[in-house]
Amino acid sequence: MKTLTVMNEKGGVGKTNIVAHGGWYFAERFRTLVIDLDQQANLTATLGAHLARTSSVDLFADVAKVEPVGPLTVTRSTRELLGIEGADRACIETFRDNLASMADDYDVCVIDTPPALTNRTFGALLAADAVLAPIGINDYSLQGVAELIRAIKGVSSHYHRAEPDFLGLLPSIFDRKSRRERELYEALAEQLGKILFPGIVAKRDAYSRAASEGMPVWEIKTAAARDAGNEIRGVFETVATKMELGA
């Protein structure tokens, strides 16, 4: 099983949209597990048709496995996740070990994290083979990026494991019509180069409709949704290639 962690300390950068579409995309070809670690539970609502009996908090508390419910299986977020932040740090390793125990049950795991560096985020980083970081163009700051990279390296160093593959900063909710955002994106590309993901997720109404209807944007029969589908499928085609996921 290959595990992708999607993270950013800031909220409102489109993580839920990206994780949901990652789950739908990978489930077309792979046995896919999606874990919602954000107590806001937006991802749980969007992917409600694929919920397992196991809640995400269970993966930190004890020996736990998630029984597949189909090509796509989702662990639900609950408010009890907030209690993980006051738990013993051993829960981070428990989460990693529980995911490792399901290596034969799933091919891909995608983890949505809360917008903060918490025990839940550290658990997701410890379990990760790869990390993708959505960013809002207007919210971009070098300091935030540095802290994100430092967290990835810090978890790997503390637990004496190889660093996960950092797939890059993915510009999300990008307003193509905004001249200011286009200029910021160009500056970002020039400044960061190699750590900028080769793709974007634009600001589109079709993504909001997909979330509310609980279906991938490429299944919505409009021209705007088709463009959005081509865009976000292109992102995950690149992710699959970088993670060396076979057919």
- Whether residue 159 lies inside any domain: the answer is yes
- Whether residue 247 lies inside any domain: the answer is no
With bands split at pLDDT 50, 70 and 90, how would you rate the model's confidence at 143?
low
Residue 141 has pLDDT above 60, yes or no: no
| Among the listed residues 126, 36, 32, the one whose alpha carbon sits nearest the alpha carbon of residue 79 | 36
pLDDT at 142: 55
- Whether residue 217 lies inside any domain: the answer is yes
Average pLDDT over residues 150-159: 92
- Whether residue 138 lies inside any domain: the answer is yes
With bands split at pLDDT 50, 70 and 90, how would you rate the model's confidence at 247?
low
pLDDT at 137: 77
Q: What is the pLDDT of residues 47-94, one digit of tens each?
A: 999 999 999 999 998 889 999 999 999 999 999 999 998 888 999 999
Alpha helices in the chain (DSSP H): 15-27, 42-46, 58-61, 90-100, 119-127, 142-158, 179-192, 205-213, 223-242
pLDDT at 139: 55
With bands split at pLDDT 50, 70 and 90, how would you rate the model's confidence at 184?
confident
| Among the listed residues 160, 169, 167, 232, the one whose alpha carbon sits nearest the alpha carbon of residue 9 | 169
Query: Residue 89's domain spans which residues?
Result: 2-242
| pLDDT top residue among 195 and 26 | 26
Q: What is the pLDDT of residues 84-103, one digit of tens each?
A: 988 889 999 999 999 999 99
Domain count within the chain? 1
CATH number, position 37: 3.40.50.300
Residue 116 has pLDDT above 80, yes or no: yes
pLDDT at 183: 81
With bands split at pLDDT 50, 70 and 90, how would you rate the model's confidence at 177?
confident
- Whether residue 84 lies inside any domain: the answer is yes
pLDDT at 14: 83
* Token representation of residue 137: 């163009």
- Whether residue 104 lies inside any domain: the answer is yes
Q: What is the model's pTM? A: 0.93
